[in-house]
Each structure stands twice: as structure tokens, then as C-alpha cells.
Amino acid sequence: MFAITKAMSKEKELGKVSHWYDKINVAVVKLAGVLKKGDRVKFKHGEEEFEETIESLQINHEAVDAGKKGDEVAMKLSQKAKEGTLAYKVE
């Protein structure tokens, strides 16, 4: 059953949270791939995980529509994503 569940949900590692701004619910993620506004992303840290559709992206305090591998992008989230949390693109 685990293999079937894994095959049904396609996740591609997107990066890791390098900083969390608690007062404004913003995570900074060092990207290992391409991320665009509107993409669905799963965040996992230990047993905790949640999914979010990315509606806001910034690089160096400038709004952008996408980020590429190597970029550090800031994104507003509805839940806390601690430093070290892994981000996966849900396809």
C-alpha cells in the first residue's frame, strides 16, 4: 500500500527553509529547482507537514513571479515552517 500511495503523489524536492520570520509568517527557501506563483508546495519537518499554494514570492524584497535553482525566495505561508523544513513541489 505504501508504494501505491507514494506513486500516486508526485513530489519533487524543491529546497529547504533557511529562515522563518514569525511575526509576518514568511519563510525563506533556498531553491533546488524552479518555483512559480500558483505552484502547490508541501512542507515537511519531522512528523509535521502541510501543503500550500504559493501566492506571494519575493527575491531581495522585490515581488517576482518565479524563482530558479540557487535563488533564495521569500514566501508568505499560513502555517509555521521552521528552519530546516524541506519543501517539495506537488505535481
The reported pLDDT for the residue numbered 91 is 84
Residue 52 lies in a domain: yes
* 65: Cα separation from own chain's centroid: 14
Residue 26 lies in a domain: yes
Residue 1 lies in a domain: no
Residue 83 lies in a domain: yes
pLDDT in tens, 71-91: 999 999 999 999 999 999 998
Helix (H) or strand (E) holding 8: helix 2-8
Span 28-55, average pLDDT: 95
Amino acid at 44: K
Whole domain around residue 43: which residue ranges? 11-90
Number of domains in the chain: 1
Is 51 in a helix, a strand, or coil? strand
Q: How long a stretch of residues is the chain? A: 91
CA gap 14, 54 in Å, rounded: 13
CA gap 38, 83 in Å, rounded: 23
